Amino acid sequence: MNHFTFSWGTNHIAVRGLLRTLGHDLAVPPRISPAIAERGIACAHPFLCFSGKLVLGQLAAQLEDGERRLAFMSSLGPEACRCADTSDYLQSLFSDYGGFSAHRLGGGNFAGALVNLRSHFGPQVRRRQCFKAYAVFYGKVDLLYKVDKRCTRLRCLSSVPEQVRELEREALERVDRASGPFALWRVSRWFDRAAARLPLREEPPSLRIGIVGGEHILSELDSIMAVIKGMAERGILLDWRSGFRMLARSTEKTLAPLKDRCRQYLQEAPSTSEIFSCAHALDFVSEGYDGLLHIYAFGCMPQTALKPILQRIAKGAGVPLLSLSIGDRFAEEGLEGRLEAFIDLLDARKSQGVLT
């Protein structure tokens, strides 16, 4: 039985791994593009955040292609947005498409996940199958995150960025093909070795920038991340520590120490996204990064609320912060201009010299 889903960057590879373990498959979601954004804007409530509109655009495109069974993975943490269970909202939004059904996979713990899988695929799903499906899913999530982060670092550190792009492409294909935990372990080992063989630049990174922000926009917005990853190829080390992996992995237990760390900045009951961004910004400034880049979707409430907090953190540490709200149109030109100026500013600060 074929399913479809939305893409947070490469997360559909992990969802597809889960479904294949259960004998099903997943269509490859369309890539994020201005056309997809337009489609999402057309069907979404205007107050929905930009990430949400991109997701709806992807879903609408696939529904028009005849897909009907939506399977999506949501966060286990206390999220207030679409990482939470949005099945009812989607069901009402797309009620015109006959036969459409939305199914949230996952469930907070193993028992919940098993209940969810059985409600979706029927009572024949066995505990062992469920265990394997989630082992594959989380194995792929972890490996995809590792590939993304390592390749972005390598784009800065390698003397041949084209080889990094090729390595990334091949790694994603291998992760997609891997059918079990052992196969994933082999891919991981292959990736480590291949990455270690890449030739490195002699000079150290010119700047180190820590990226925080909406996990969705960071992981899924290919256009934005392409612009940002392009900075890595010019010798700027980029680092981010959140993303789909964090949302998929986070639990109250793992969030507690991060939340404690941010106590003086965050108010009661912050969302997972806020906790990650705040904690990681604190990490970056304490580790001496040259600048902080805050990227979030226009309309994202948690990240909008976080903006003044990040300003406080940056100001207190004397580290420049650039907040980029990505909203409703791609506007790459304006985005690039701001990023370029930010880098010029960091360069000038570092050399304590006059601009260029």
Pick the stretch among 114-122, 132-140, 219-227, 244-252 that binds another protein (CB under 8 A). 219-227
Interior/surface letters 203-213, b for 16+ CB within 10 angstroms, e for the rest: eebebbbbbbb
Pick the stretch among 175-183, 185-193, 257-265, 336-344 that binds another protein (CB under 8 A). 336-344
Could you give the CA distance from residue 346 to residue 340 in angstroms, rounded to a whole number? 10
Please tell me whether residue 213 adopts helix, strand or coil conformation.
Answer: strand
Could you give the CA distance from residue 220 to residue 47 in angstroms, rounded to a whole number? 20
Regarding 100 and contact with another protein (CB under 8 A), the answer is no
Regarding 107 and contact with another protein (CB under 8 A), the answer is no
Q: How far is the CB of 174 from another protein (least distance, A)?
A: 19
Regarding 311 and contact with another protein (CB under 8 A), the answer is yes
Altogether, the residues listed in the chain come to a count of 356
Please tell me whether residue 293 adopts helix, strand or coil conformation.
Answer: strand
Closest CA to 274 of 308, 321, 236: 308
Burial class, 170, CB count within 10 angstroms (exposed 0-12 / middle 13-18 / buried 19+):
middle
State which residue, 20 or 338, has the beta carbon closest to another protein.
338
Residues 182-201 that bind another protein (CB under 8 A): none
Q: By 3-state DSSP, what share of the chain in percent is helix, strand and coil, each rounded to 5? A: 60, 10, 30
Dmax over CA atoms of the chain, in Å, equals: 69
Q: Which of 9, 17, 30, 107 binds another protein (CB under 8 A)?
A: 30
Residues 137-156 that bind another protein (CB under 8 A): none
Closest CA to 214 of 306, 289, 146: 306
Pick the stretch among 38-46, 105-113, 180-188, 327-335 that binds another protein (CB under 8 A). 327-335
Regarding 35 and contact with another protein (CB under 8 A), the answer is yes
Asked whether the beta carbons of 87 and 335 are under 8 A apart, the reply is no
Under DSSP, the state recorded for 76 is: S
State which residue, 201 or 234, has the beta carbon closest to another protein.
234
Q: Which of 78, 233, 249, 301 binds another protein (CB under 8 A)?
A: 233
Kindly state the number of chain residues that form the binding site for another protein, as judged by CB under 8 A.
Answer: 40
Q: How far is the CB of 215 from another protein (least distance, A)?
A: 20
Q: How far is the CB of 222 from another protein (least distance, A)?
A: 7
> Residue numbers of the site for another protein (CB under 8 A)?
30-31, 33-35, 162, 165, 222-223, 226, 230, 233-235, 298, 308, 311, 320, 325, 327-328, 333-334, 336-338, 340-345, 347-349, 352-356
